A and B are shown apart, each in its own frame.
Chain A
Amino acid sequence: MTPSGAGSGLTPSAAAAPGSAGPEVLTLNVGPQHPGTHGVLRVVVELEGEIIRRATPEIGYLHTGIEKQMEARTYLQNVTLVDRIEYLASYNEEMAFYQAVERLLGVEPPPRARAIRILMCELNRIGSHLMYLAAGTLDLNVSSVFMYAMTDREKYLDLSEMLSGQRMMPGYFRPGGVAMDLPEGFVEAARAFLEELPRRLDEYERLLDDNLIWRERLEGIAPLSREDAIALGATGPVLRGSGVAHDCRTLLPYGGYDEYRFDVPVRTEGDAYARYLVRMEEMRQSRRIALQVLDRLPDGPIIVNDRKIALPPRAELARSMEAVIHQFKLVSEGLHPPAGDSYVATESPRGEKGYFIVSDGSNRPVRAHVRAPSFYNLQALPAMVEGHLLSDLVVAIASIDIVLGDVDR
C-alpha cells in the first residue's frame, strides 16, 4: 500500500492488534524524502483504510545547529546564519533579528532605513506567498500555475538581486539600518513589479477560484477550528484562516509599520481554501504597503549614526583617526549590546517570528532563540488531518506553508 515515492520507508508495518476484531491499522511512513512534504519532513500516519487515525510529524532532518552557531558569531556575522533559517523570507528574518538586537541596543534606524526595510519585507512576503502558490499548486498538479507563479517570483528575485546582489539570502540588513542604499533604477523596477502584480493575481484567481478541482481539493479540507489554532500556538495565515485577527504588524507595530495603512485579511472557515484566500489577499495588501513606502520614501541616512554600532562612512576614514579606530573595532570585534534580553514579535509570511536574544555585554549573543512560526504551525497538522483522508495530508502540509529550515533550525 506504500504509494510510490513515499521515500525511505524506514518503518512501514501493518499493525493489526492480535486477537482483536477491530479494523486493521496500517502504519505508513511519509517522508522524509517525499514530494509532498515541502522539505525533509517525516509524518508517521496510522491509517484505517484511507482515513488517518493518527499523524505524528517527526522533525529534525534539517537541524543545522544554527542557534548554537549564532552563539559563536558576532551580531553582524549572524545575519548570514539568520538568512538561512526561513529561507523563503530572508528579509523578514533579518528584520526580526535586528529588531531584537536594536531593542537591546536601544537604537532605532533612521526613517529611510525603516522604509527600505519595510519595503523589502513586504516584497519578500509577496515572493514567499508566490512560492506557496507555486508549491501548493504543484502538489495538486496544477503545473501551469506553478510555472506562472515561479515566473512572477523571478521578478521579485531580480529586485532582490538588484538591491543586495543575491537572489536569496541577501544579508542586507545591518544593526541600525541597512547595508547600502537603493540603487538607481530600483524604485522604477519595484513600481513596475507592483503595477503588474494585480493583473497576475487576478489571473491566478481566474485559474483557481472557479476551478472545480481546486475548490474540491481545498474547500473543507484540513480544517482547523479557532480553539485548536489558538491552543496549538499557530500564527500567521493558519491562525487568520481560522478566524483570529492576529497580525503582529498591527497589534504590536515594529520597525515603522504603524505609519502605513493596510488591512489584515481574516477568514473564518479554517480550511485550506481559507488559508489560500488569506494569502492571496495578503499579497494585495503587501503591494499596498510597498506602494505607500515607495510614494513616501524619505531621504536621509540609511544607517544609525552611532560609531559603536554602524561603520563610519568611507570618506570619514581619510579624515578622522577615531573613525578608523571605530571601523577597526566594529569589524574585528563587533558591537557590544548591553547585558539583558529582548524579544520583538514580527510577522513573517508564516506567522509570528521573534528572536529571544540574551546578551552578556560581549560581542556574541549568549543565546539567540528563534520563535519559529512553522514549528508551532506544524503542531496543528495532526489536528487538521486526523479523521480525514490520506490524500488530504499533502494539501494540509501545503496549506500550512511550512519551511523546514524554520522548523528544525
Chain B
Amino acid sequence: MGVSAEPPVPAGPDRGGVLDREVERNVLTTTVERLLNWARASSVWPVQFGLACCAIEMISSAASRFDIARYGSELFRASPRQADLMIVAGRVSQKMAPVVRHIYDQMLEPKWVIAMGDCASTGGLYNNYAVVQGVDKVVPVDIYVAGCPPRPEALLHGLGVLQDLIARGATRRR
C-alpha cells in the first residue's frame, strides 16, 4: 500500500507529465476510506439466521458446490455481535419478528441486511395473519433476492451486488 507521494518537480519542459504516469503505474495509492470499504466488502461475514426453506439453500451456498467462502463469507457467525451481514432466509412469523429486530440491534455497525427469498422480501406465498409481509417492516434491508427459494447462485449474485455497494461506500441513512 503506497501513500500519495508528491512527485518531485522536474526541471525542464515536461513538468510532472511523465513522472505522474510512472507513479500511477508503479505505486498503488488510495484513501483510507476506500481501503476500509474494500476490506469490508471482501469479507462480509453473515450471522446464522436461517429461518425456513431458504436457509437450506443458504446452507447449500455455503457448501462446496457454490462455496460462498470464495466471496469472502468464510464463516457464518453464530453470534450477531461478530457478524456484518444478516441474511434473513425464510418467512418471518409474528412471533419471530421481535427476535429479528433484537438480533439486528445486537449487530455492530457497519451492518447490512439481505432479504433472501420471496417471504423475507414481501411475505411471499403467505399473505396471511401469521407472516410479516416483508422483513423490511422490521429491519432496513439493503438487498432483496427474489426466488422461492432463490438458487444459491441467486444469493451469491445478491451478495456480489451488496459487495459492490459496500466497496463504493454506499451507505444508507438509518
Binding site for B on A (CB under 8 A): 4-5, 7-8, 10, 32-35, 39-40, 60-66, 68-69, 80-81, 84, 87-88, 131, 134-135, 146-147, 150-151, 153-154, 157, 167-169, 404-405, 408
A64 and B99 form a contact (CB under 8 A)? no
Tell me whether B93 and A60 are in contact (CB under 8 A).
yes
B52 within 8 A of A: yes
Interface centre among B57, B78, B131 (most CB of A within 10 A): B78
A68-B130, A84-B125, A169-B53 are known; give 19 further A-B pairs, CB within 8 A.
A4-B79, A5-B78, A7-B103, A8-B102, A33-B48, A35-B78, A39-B52, A40-B51, A40-B96, A60-B93, A62-B51, A62-B91, A64-B131, A134-B63, A147-B63, A150-B64, A154-B60, A167-B151, A168-B56
**Given A5-B78, A146-B63, A39–B126 Cβ distance below 8 Å?**
no
Given A5-B78, A150-B63, residue A39 in contact with residue B131 (CB < 8 A)? no
Q: Are B99 and A154 in contact (CB under 8 A)?
A: no
CA distance A84 to B57 in the complex (A): 13
Decide: A65 and B96 in contact? CB cutoff 8 A. Answer: no
Is there contact, CB below 8 Å, between A61 and B130?
no
- Contact partner of A69 among B50, B63, B65, B126, CB < 8 A? B126
B48 touches A61 (CB 8 A): no
Expressed in whole angstroms, the minimum distance between the Cβ of B145 and any Cβ of chain A is 15
A81-B64 Cα distance, complex, nearest whole Å? 30
Known: A8-B99, A39-B50, A131-B56. A151 touches B65 (CB 8 A): yes
| Interface hits, B69-108 → A, CB 8 Å | 77-80, 90-91, 93-96, 99, 102-103
A88 and B56 contact, CB distance less than 8 A:
yes
B64 touches A151 (CB 8 A): yes
Residues of chain B contacted by A405 (CB below 8 angstroms): 52-53
Task: Looking at the assembled complex, report how far the CB atom of B130 sits from the nearest CB atom of chain A, in whole angstroms.
Answer: 3
Inter-chain residue pair count (beta carbon < 8 A): 109
Count B-side interface residues using an 8 Å CB cutoff: 38
Q: How far is the CA of A84 from the CA of B102 in the complex (A)?
A: 26
Q: Determine how close the nearest CB of chain B comes to the CB of A189; give it in whole angstroms.
A: 16
List the A residue with the shortest CB-CB distance to B106.
A8
Instruction: List residues 18-59 of chain B with CB under 8 A from any CB of chain A.
Output: 47-53, 55-57, 59
Minimal beta-carbon separation of A71 from chain B (angstroms): 10
Q: Write out the residue numbers on chain A whose beta carbons fall within 8 Å of the beta carbon of B94.
A: 63
**Alpha-carbon distance A135/B128, docked complex (angstroms):** 31
A81 lies within 8 A of B125 (CB) = yes
Using CB atoms, name the residue of chain B closest to A61: B96
Chain B residues with CB under 8 A of A60: 93, 95
Contact B90 A62 (CB under 8 A): yes
Q: How far is the CA of A408 from the CA of B126 in the complex (A)?
A: 14
CB closest residue in chain A, given B57: A168
B128 touches A84 (CB 8 A): no
Chain A nearest Cβ from B98, distance in angstroms:
8
- Complex interface: chain B residues within 8 A of A65 (CB): 126, 128-131
Chain A min CB distance to B156 (Å): 15
Chain B 97-135, CB-CB to A under 8 Å as 1, else 0, gives 001001100000000000000000000011111110000
* Given A40-B96, A147-B63, A167-B151, A63 contacting B130 (CB threshold 8 A): yes
Q: Which residue of A lies closest to B76 (CB)?
A: A35
Q: Choose among B57, B91, B127 the residue with the greatest number of A CB atoms under 10 Å from its CB.
A: B91
